Amino acid sequence: MKKFTAAIFFLGLIVTSCSSEDSTPSAGTPIGGGGGIEVPNNYTDTQLIEMVQKDALKYFWDYAESNSKLARERYHTDNPGQDANVVSAGGSGFGLMTILVGIKNGYVARAEAVSRLTTALNFLQNANRFHGAWPHWMNGTNGQVIPFSPQDDGGDLVETAFLSQGLICVREYFKNSTDSSELALSQKADSLFKGIEWNWYTKGENTLYWHWSPNFSFQMNMQLKGFDETLITYVMAAASPTSTITKPVYQQGWARSGAIANAGSQYGFPLTVSHNGAANTVGPMFWSHYSFMGLDPRGLTDDYVNYGNATTNHAKIMYQYSVTNPKGWQGYNSKSWGLTASYSRNTDGSTGYSAHQPNNDLGVISPTAALSSMPYTPTESMNMLRFLYNENYTKYIGVAGPYDAYSIHYNWVTPRYLAIDQGTIAPMIENHKSQFLWQLFMNAPDVKQGLIKLGFHSTQYGF
């Protein structure tokens, strides 16, 4: 099996096996079980955007891990206590950015948010780190690593990069504050970022590696090569003032000495990049979300790729694939679309996990795929938002926004949430509205210098 995404592969194994109810059909819920007819809502687009942003924020506010105030890996409304203290490093980075959106829009009180963020960053300071990198999962009660797989019991550089993207945004948002607690929070975020030994994870080679363990060293041997979700790892590493990487690490690692470029097309849209493991088509939609919550792809180019084209075309191809619906699934259309890694429906009707994409289309729609693509496909993403909140609210919307996945074909929905899926919704919608997080991140001096070092140019930010 190709790399595809190691984290997703292993998460699929773990999520399916870690919970007793995951092996039973009751883990998935038939939609419309009461037999009633859905009464349509008539919310305006402005109301819908505010509603979904507030709902997604609840995951990181109302359902945060109780001690650390960081993001729980998952929250299941059908078993709320499961993994209550399992903290997701990457999901927590998305949570930091979601909370900033909440502050900006007045969804949460600024002082209370600063207090929570301070608790979270103090926890991160004292948690297990491996040459500065955090593990994929941590125990929220004591900060100790929870192994993600048998050999993945140390640093996870990709999850650390997702977390760092959030830390940079926190640092930039509060860095000019006259409030002592806010300024201290900014300085804490900066210190945590500077403590990551990015160049350790090269092994002295011209590529970055995903994992290092004190027990297994680099045995997992997973190089980070594009195009997938790991671009932000190279950007963060280049931006580091303490443990930076050189341009050849980026060129030979992420860009594969130019092999990342792709002249092919799908549905009339240039692919632009070679999607790792997806042959001549696109991978799961999160590949164009996770790195681009802070990194603004508009007008962003390196020596090989225009990332504005790559991400926008990814979303347009995914939309067109769903509308064309080559496998004939019921419920794929211009209002219900989007494939990405999420919970999924097993053949027995129970809930599993899968990295949905055109090459792995199981008849399951993941709302985050379309909603988090709003900067790329605003009209098509709004169609999905109206479909969820105005037409199917009681079926697909729960305590923290849209449920993670549903299938109209199988009359199935899972009443569950994952941090990495809920965590992209509010930030990416906000980037569509105001470019808020993009501007925070891209205007950070060390980020800009790191991008320039790697050969990037941005028409939006003048370099």
pLDDT at 36: 60
> What pLDDT shows up at residue 32?
42
pTM, to two decimals:
0.93
Average pLDDT over residues 47-71: 98
141 Rama class: left (phi>0) / alpha (psi -120 to 50) / beta: alpha
Minimum mean pLDDT range among 33-42, 432-441, 449-458: 33-42
- Overall average pLDDT of the 435-453 stretch: 98
Q: How far apart are CA 218 and CA 116, in angstroms?
A: 35
Q: What is the pLDDT confidence band of residue 22, given thresholds at 50, 70 and 90? A: very low
> What is the model's pLDDT at position 278?
85
Rounded-to-integer distance, Cα 256 and Cα 249, Å: 10
H or E element at residue 320: helix 307-324
Contacting residues for 267 by C-beta, under 8 A, at least 6 apart: 316, 317, 320, 321, 324
How far apart, in Å, are the Cα atoms of 98 and each of 70, 94, 115, 368?
Answer: 12, 6, 15, 14
pLDDT in tens, 74-101: 999 999 999 999 999 999 999 999 999 9
Q: Quick one: fold of 42-458?
A: Glycosyltransferase (1.50.10)
Other C-beta atoms closer than 10 Å to the C-beta of 111 total: 12
Token look-up 């053949």 returns: 347
* Strands across the sheet containing 29-30: 29-30, 412-414, 405-407
SS (H, E, C) 11-66: HHHHHHHHCHHHHCHHHCEECCCCCCCCCCCCCCHHHHHHHHHHHHHHHHHCCCCC
Percentage of residues in the chain having pLDDT higher than 70: 92
Compute the distance between CA of residue 274 and CA of residue 314 in angstroms, rounded to an integer: 11
- Mean pLDDT of all residues in the chain? 93
Q: What is the tens place of the pLDDT at every residue in 333-363?
A: 999 999 999 999 999 999 999 999 999 999 9
Q: Domain coordinates of the chain in residue numbers? A: 42-458
